[in-house]
Structure 1
Amino acid sequence: MSENKDFHALIRAICVGYGYCGSLQDDGWRHVTRYIPERGYVTVDDFIDWVFMAEGEQWFGNPRAMIRRERLRSCFITYMGSPVVHARRLRWKR
């Protein structure tokens, strides 16, 4: 249960705190959870890449985006407790 609470807190922090709540793109609504695999390990960099993909935002070569990446990195590690977590920890409660 605490794993889901950590994930919910992370999602809330990146959405409310940073405005990364997903976006409407050509193929419909995208959210970071769309990219999380069923199993295996997820790194903080994987997760942040998926956040940017869900927003339809490019980060490479953008100095402001690089700063936002560092803030998101800190947020992920704070809430998830590690820069690498198992994908099952990145799930909504069922």
Structure 2
Amino acid sequence: MSRQPGYNSLMHEVCVEGGWCGAIVQGEPSHVDDFIPAAGPVTAEQFVEWLFRAEGVDPSSDPAKWGEHWEGLRGAFVRHLGADLVEASALKCNVG
């Protein structure tokens, strides 16, 4: 089972290199993949919001602190997936 190349490279940058994988939030494990719907459009902003939620971070709590991270993560999404809006299936594992 492997991820599509764009998502694979995106997750390598934001998760492996950047540490935005997920955390224990309110006593439960959380990962960005938990928030991705089965189908439908996903924007770069939605994905970045899910990254923050998976980490248990409220970016509005300190906009100066989190704003730069937000922009970098959004940029990574667009750079790796080629658009600021993609189908949710582009953010899932390829089976088979």
* TM, length-normalised to structure 1: 0.90
- SS of 2:83's partner is coil
* Aligned mates of 1:16, 1:33 — CA distance in 2: 14
Offset, 1:26: 2.9
- SS of 1:79's partner is helix
* Aligned mates of 2:38, 2:26 — CA distance in 1: 24
Aligned position for 1:21: 21
Offset, 1:8: 1.0
Gaps of 5+ in 2: none
Q: Does 1:30 align with 2:36?
A: no
Gaps of 5+ in 1: none
Greater share of strand residues, 1 or 2?
A: 2
* Aligned mates of 1:25, 1:86 — CA distance in 2: 27
Report the RMSD for the aligned CA atoms in angstroms: 1.4
- SS of 1:13's partner is helix
Offset, 1:27: 4.9
* TM, length-normalised to structure 2: 0.88
Aligned position for 1:68: 69
* Aligned mates of 2:14, 2:78 — CA distance in 1: 12
Aligned position for 1:6: 6
